[in-house]
């Protein structure tokens, strides 16, 4: 029997409109009977991986952990404290991973290709303020739910686990269990009623298989699935905020470290209320980090922060007359080179400082030939290659970055300096409103890249901004627009790599500030800088909690994470564990 699309038209329209309303209001509407009369959250109905009691959610915090206090270095201390928890929607990556985990027998994520591209704010696509759902997004989620449920229907027996002919009782039990996993917490009364009502309505015209598909499609359109609403526990009105339920902590952990829903072990810990103490969360975080699945999410973080996938994602092209060896295959190899280095940092095999100062890389024979100015070599394995120390500065001297931060014809000290300043030092650079940029003086035909850019630093209003960028980029001028080393410019002119990281704040200079010469000195300066370490901590915090950095709320957390990274001899995984066991991650501000 055909699925009968008309019978679900109402539910699809409801889903689209509710998604738009949720995005506008920032809240998920309550079900009819979600709450007890006294306003406390209800018992939660069925929970657990098999629809258990759901007792792990709790309602009131009984044992607040001691605050994390650090020395700020000026004779004062500060306490790590939580910020607000904005309503977050699943990103496209999270959506794809989640539907694959919901339906492991089918793995239907390839059918979600029609999703509207994620917006980005402060480098990241999981920032709640970038996730508004317009009608186009809502319609895309509706179509995706239809496509995914249709694919699942082809293996309905394997998916539901029902033996023999599918009947109403087994179908409804499956939908309840599916909704629990999709919502990542026990169902509340009104939710269960709504889901089963969809099944019953469809069942008036359809067989159990198609009615089950209708229920699946409905679940995949609900705000409870597409968003990540959180329900903090009652009690505790201090600077430490209030605790999140074990269910919410489980979701925060899984989406941060795996970009997907919790697995059975994490669900089990949540059901037992075993994501309350720092030690409990630490144990689960280490387990998730040890899985190969963590690489995908952590690479998503690094790729958005460090932009090493930009040349592939944005199909960065070069002038073939000047750079005949650069092509899409080489671009993909350049990305893999950076991934290989970052892989080892994520796993804790390398110090994070190797990202900026490592005198080695990981290349195949084709990439080795490319860096030597030759079009030779094949795929092969990516192996470690030791490089001349004066020409190496970790990923800063990778073609993935250098090519992305160049024009089609030549290198760009502006782009490269801007990248270091904004992404690695977290210093904002904004053109003052209403500024009219004057034309530059006539430029000689034989002028070098540096000569042209020095003109920017001689006239206002250009000078104030370009002083903060261009001198940093000068240190990388030995690399052409594709990241290949050059001793001279194409016209034979000498290359001057002297530069400087100018003090962004003269009253509060950073340890990254000062004169330098060449890529090696730039890399070593950044690797040794607490300024860079704090920036890395800030970027990771924003990615983990899905909101903008707030100096008033988050500065102590960043200081704590930076100190952890230093004390752990630069091991990135230790900073991750410290973040997820902090109040910034396990707790939230008390709702007004």
Evaluate if residue 412 carries a pLDDT over 70: yes
Rounded CA-CA distance 161/167 in Å is 12
Q: Which of 169-173, 543-547, 588-592 has the lowest mean pLDDT?
A: 588-592
User: Is 421 within the bounds of a domain?
Assistant: yes
User: Residue 5 pLDDT > 60, yes or no?
Assistant: no
31 pLDDT band, cuts 50/70/90, is very low
Q: Comparing 320 with 53, which gets the higher pLDDT?
A: 320
What is the DSSP-derived secondary structure letter of residue 516? E
Task: Output the pLDDT for position 449.
Answer: 86
Residues 287-332 pLDDT 10s: 999 999 999 999 999 999 999 999 998 889 999 999 999 999 999 9
Mean pLDDT of the chain: 87
pLDDT band at 233 (very low <50, low <70, confident <90, very high): confident
Assigned domain for 325 exists: yes
The partner residues of 516 in beta bridges, in order of sequence, read: 499
How many Cβ atoms are within 10 Å of 579's Cβ, its own excluded? 24
In a domain, 32, yes or no: no
pLDDT bucket at 445, cuts 50 / 70 / 90: confident
pLDDT of residue 59: 58
Confidence category of residue 55, pLDDT binned at 50, 70, 90: very low
Residues 456-513 pLDDT 10s: 777 777 788 888 999 999 999 999 999 999 999 999 999 999 999 998 788 888 999 9
Q: How far apart are CA 222 and CA 220, in angstroms?
A: 6
Query: For residue 497, what are the domain limits?
Result: 300-528
pLDDT at site 34:
41
CA distance 228 to 258: 15
Residue 81 within any structural domain of the chain? no
pLDDT category at 43 given cuts 50, 70, 90 is very low
> What band does 45 get if pLDDT is binned at 50, 70 and 90?
very low
Residue 17's pLDDT is 42
Structural domain tally of the chain? 1
The answer to whether the Cα torsion of 83, 590, 587, 119 is positive or negative is negative
Residue 215 is assigned to a structural domain of this protein: no
DSSP state of 411: B
Percent of the chain with pLDDT over 70: 88
Number of H helices, E strands in the chain: 25, 8
What is residue 1's predicted lDDT score, i.e. its pLDDT?
A: 32
Q: Is residue 432 part of a domain?
A: yes
Instruction: Over range 521-544, report the average pLDDT.
Output: 97
- Tokens 């850019």 identify what position? 453
| pLDDT tens for each residue of 115-167 | 887 888 999 999 998 887 778 888 989 999 999 999 999 999 999 999 888 99
> What residues pair up with 362 in beta bridges, in sequence order?
384
- φ, ψ of residue 106 in degrees (nearest 5): -120, -40
Q: Residue 591: what pLDDT?
A: 62
3-17, 197-211, 494-508: which has the minimum mean pLDDT?
A: 3-17
pLDDT at 549: 95
Q: Residue 547 is encoded by which pair of tokens?
A: 């909101």
Residue 56 banded pLDDT, cuts 50, 70, 90: low
pLDDT band at 3 (very low <50, low <70, confident <90, very high): very low
Residue 243: strand pairing partners:
587
- Domain contains 505: yes
**pLDDT-derived band at 62, boundaries 50, 70, 90:** low
Is 268 domain-assigned?
Answer: no
pLDDT-based confidence at residue 374 (cuts at 50, 70, 90): confident
Q: Which residue has the higher pLDDT, 269 or 375?
A: 269
- Residue in the block written with tokens 């390839």: 110
Distance of CA 159 to the CA centre of its chain: 30
Is 11's pLDDT higher than 90?
A: no
Q: What pLDDT score was predicted for residue 237?
A: 57
């Amino acid at each position: 029997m055909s699925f009968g699309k008309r019978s679900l038209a109402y539910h699809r329209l409801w889903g689209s409109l509710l998604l738009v309303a949720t995005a506008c209001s920032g809240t998920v509407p309550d079900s009819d009977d979600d709450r007890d009369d006294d306003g406390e959250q209800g018992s939660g109905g069925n929970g657990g991986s098999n629809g258990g009691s759901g007792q792990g959610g709790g309602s009131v915090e009984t044992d607040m952990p001691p605050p994390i206090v650090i020395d700020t270095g000026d004779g004062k201390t500060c306490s790590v404290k939580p910020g607000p928890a904005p309503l977050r929607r699943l990103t496209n990556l999270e959506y794809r991973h989640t539907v694959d985990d919901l339906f492991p027998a089918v793995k239907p994520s390839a059918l979600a290709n029609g999703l509207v591209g994620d917006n980005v704010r402060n480098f990241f696509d999981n920032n709640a303020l970038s996730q508004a759902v317009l009608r186009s997004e809502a319609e895309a989620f509706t179509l995706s739910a239809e496509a995914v449920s249709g694919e699942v229907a082809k293996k309905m027996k394997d998916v539901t686990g029902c033996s023999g002919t599918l009947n109403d009782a087994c179908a409804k039990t499956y939908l309840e269990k599916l909704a629990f996993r999709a919502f990542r917490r026990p169902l509340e009364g009104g939710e269960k009623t709504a889901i089963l009502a969809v099944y019953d309505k469809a069942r008036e015209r359809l067989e159990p298989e198609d009615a089950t598909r209708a229920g699946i499609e409905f679940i995949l359109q609900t705000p409870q699935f597409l968003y990540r609403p959180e329900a903090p526990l009652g009690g505790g009105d201090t600077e430490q905020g209030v605790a999140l339920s074990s269910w919410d902590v489980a979701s925060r952990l899984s989406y941060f470290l795996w970009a997907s829903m919790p697995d059975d072990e994490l669900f089990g810990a949540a059901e037992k209320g075993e994501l309350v103490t720092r030690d409990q969360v630490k144990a689960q975080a280490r387990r998730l980090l040890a899985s190969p699945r963590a690489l995908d999410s952590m690479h998503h973080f690094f790729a958005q922060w460090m932009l090493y996938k930009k040349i592939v994602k944005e199909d960065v092209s070069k002038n073939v007359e000047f750079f005949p060896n650069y092509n899409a295959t080489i671009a993909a190899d350049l990305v893999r080179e950076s991934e290989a280095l970052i892989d080892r940092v994520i796993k804790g095999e390398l110090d994070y400082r190797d990202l900026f100062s490592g005198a080695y890389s990981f290349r195949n024979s084709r990439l080795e030939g490319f860096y030597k100015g030759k079009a030779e070599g094949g795929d092969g394995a990516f192996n470690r290659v030791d490089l001349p120390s004066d020409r190496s500065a970790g990923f800063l001297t990778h073609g993935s970055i250098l090519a992305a931060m160049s024009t089609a014809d030549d290198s760009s000290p502006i782009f490269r300096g801007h990248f270091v300043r904004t992404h690695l030092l977290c210093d904002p650079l904004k053109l003052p409103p209403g500024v009219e940029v004057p034309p530059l003086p006539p430029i000689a035909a034989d002028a070098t890249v540096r000569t042209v850019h020095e003109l920017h630093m001689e006239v206002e209003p250009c000078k104030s901004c370009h002083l903060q960028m261009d001198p940093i980029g000068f240190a990388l001028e030995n690399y052409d627009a594709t990241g290949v080393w050059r001793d001279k410019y194409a016209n034979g002119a000498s290359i001057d790599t002297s530069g400087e990281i100018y003090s962004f704040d003269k009253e509060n200079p950073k340890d990254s500030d000062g004169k330098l010469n060449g890529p090696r000195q730039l890399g070593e300066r950044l690797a040794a800088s607490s300024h860079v370490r704090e920036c890395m901590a800030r970027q990771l915090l924003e990615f983990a909690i899905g909101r903008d950095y707030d100096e008033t709320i988050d500065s102590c957390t960043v200081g704590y994470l930076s100190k952890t990274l230093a004390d752990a001899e630069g091991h990135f995984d230790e900073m991750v564990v410290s973040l997820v066991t902090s109040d910034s991650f396990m707790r939230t501000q008390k709702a007004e």
